[in-house]
Amino acid sequence: MKVNLKTLGCRLNEAESESWAQQFQNAGHRIVRSAADADLIILNTCAVTTEAGRKSRQMIRRLHRGNPAAKLVVSGCYATLEPDKTAAALGVDMVIPNKHKNQLAEIVGEQLIPGTTTAAAAEPGENALFQQGRQRAFIKVQDGCRFRCTFCIVTIARGDEKSQPIEDIIGQINKLHQQGVHEVILTGVHLGGYGTDIGSGLNRLITAILEQTDIPRVRLGSLEPWDLPKSFFGLFRNPRLMPHLHLPLQSGSDAVLRRMARRCGTTDFMRLADQARNEVPDINLTSDIIVGFPGETEGEWKTSLETIAKIGFGHLHIFPYSPRAGTKAALLASPVSRPEKKERCEHLHQLAESMKQETYQRYLGRKFPVLWESGPSNAAADETVSGYTPNFLRVTTSETAGLSNTVRPVRLAAILESGTGLQGKFDAS
């Protein structure tokens, strides 16, 4: 069968979808990029915000309308929290909750696909990731979270923490590297809590990966700022561990952070940011911010803006708060009005853009190795290839020949007119 996978939401969802693609391929099926061409569509949904849930419902309808003959399987956090609504949606053939995600390909093969084989449909050694036009691989190293931030529905949807054994992760990375993958991103709901359930830890995992694999680039997904173990920054002395950290701050006001039940205040966060920059050359720090959390006063908002500006980030993911049924925050008093949230989001977007441009300016003229991720084999003059520096700055070049899925150094020559990245120039050989 021709299988198409669609993913909404976080990097953990991406990791799961990539694993499914490999499993379907190994079972003899072909991965296709277009849902319109598929016999089977797998949708991995998100529910981190009310908007994410709405987009998941929309995607279910859109996929069925676009290819009503295809079988449609829905999984992920929205499907787990709203299984009856998901199952009742037009065109849905199967709903697989998060607790059965690891067996998704097997369940679908047994119940929806007749005559499943074990022979690989792709060329020997070919990775299903490349069939989807991707080069960087997401590795799911753990799932679930033991903490309960008051705004978070994901901990409810994902359940208890469960870590993958180090030897399994090592084996997966080595296999991906043999298939031509040059970068892996370690992901989890609570990545910093890796190993607490199996007597291990994040430092031990990263050390093992650096010692027992030859993958050129190892990158970390989102890490809670209270989770970083002792001597963590020393790991970055190995240049294969990429100098970029996504540390969710969520608010720059300690009063708001307390209502969120966050475990890291602004003073500790700023101390952590200073330590990272002192110990890891060129590290790029990015973050998440929730705007308009219940009870957020004008004074708390101004304090938050000042704190965010003082810390400085290379990029921000900005979320206007939306209540999620089943979370403590949904019951809090003094909600912020929609117009206030919109205005505050606009101010924060302006600040985030200013910080991003300052980051780009700081690196102009310098040379960095870039993993060039995509590009046509017969590029016209106006076509480009893009990729990321070790510290996760997006770089674009029009010198496309032979670049896709290679790591090659380039000089950061200019900021793109769109302001969304940097223009790379190769030095004359």
Read off the pLDDT of residues 129-153 as tens digits, 9 standing for 90 and up.
Answer: 665 556 789 999 999 999 999 999 9
DSSP string, 8-65: -S-HHHHHHHHHHHHHHHHTT-EE-S-GGG-SEEEEEE--SSHHHHHHHHHHHHHHHH
d(CA 34, CA 6): 9
Q: What's the pLDDT score for residue 69?
A: 94
Percent over 90 (pLDDT), the chain? 80
Q: Which residues contact 302 (CB under 8 A, 6 or more apart)?
A: none
pLDDT single digits (tens) 372-413: 986 443 344 457 899 999 999 999 998 877 888 999 999 999
The CATH architecture one would assign to domain 132-363 is: Alpha-Beta Horseshoe (3.80)
If one compares 346 and 10, the residue with the highest pLDDT of the two is 346
Q: Tokens at residue 289, please?
A: 């911010």
- The residue extents of the domains of the chain are 2-111, 132-363, 367-425
pLDDT single digits (tens) 219-269: 999 999 998 888 999 999 999 999 999 999 999 999 999 999 999 999 999
Mean pLDDT value across residues 296-320: 98
Q: Which helix (H) or strand (E) holds 184?
A: strand 183-187
pLDDT band at 93 (very low <50, low <70, confident <90, very high): very high
Q: What's the pLDDT score for residue 125?
A: 46
Q: Which residues contact 224 (CB under 8 A, 6 or more apart)?
A: 147, 190, 191, 192, 247, 248, 263, 264
If one compares 268 and 114, the residue with the highest pLDDT of the two is 268
d(CA 215, CA 250): 32
User: What CATH number does the domain located at 2-111 have?
Assistant: 3.40.50.12160
Percent over 70 (pLDDT), the chain? 93
Topology adopted by domain 367-425: OB fold (Dihydrolipoamide Acetyltransferase, E2P) (2.40.50)
pLDDT band at 3 (very low <50, low <70, confident <90, very high): very high
The whole-chain average pLDDT of the chain stands at 91
Any idea how long the chain is? 429
Other C-beta atoms within 10 Å of 65: how many?
A: 10
d(CA 33, CA 31): 7
- Report the range of poorest mean pLDDT among 34-48, 362-376, 378-392: 378-392
DSSP designation for 390: T
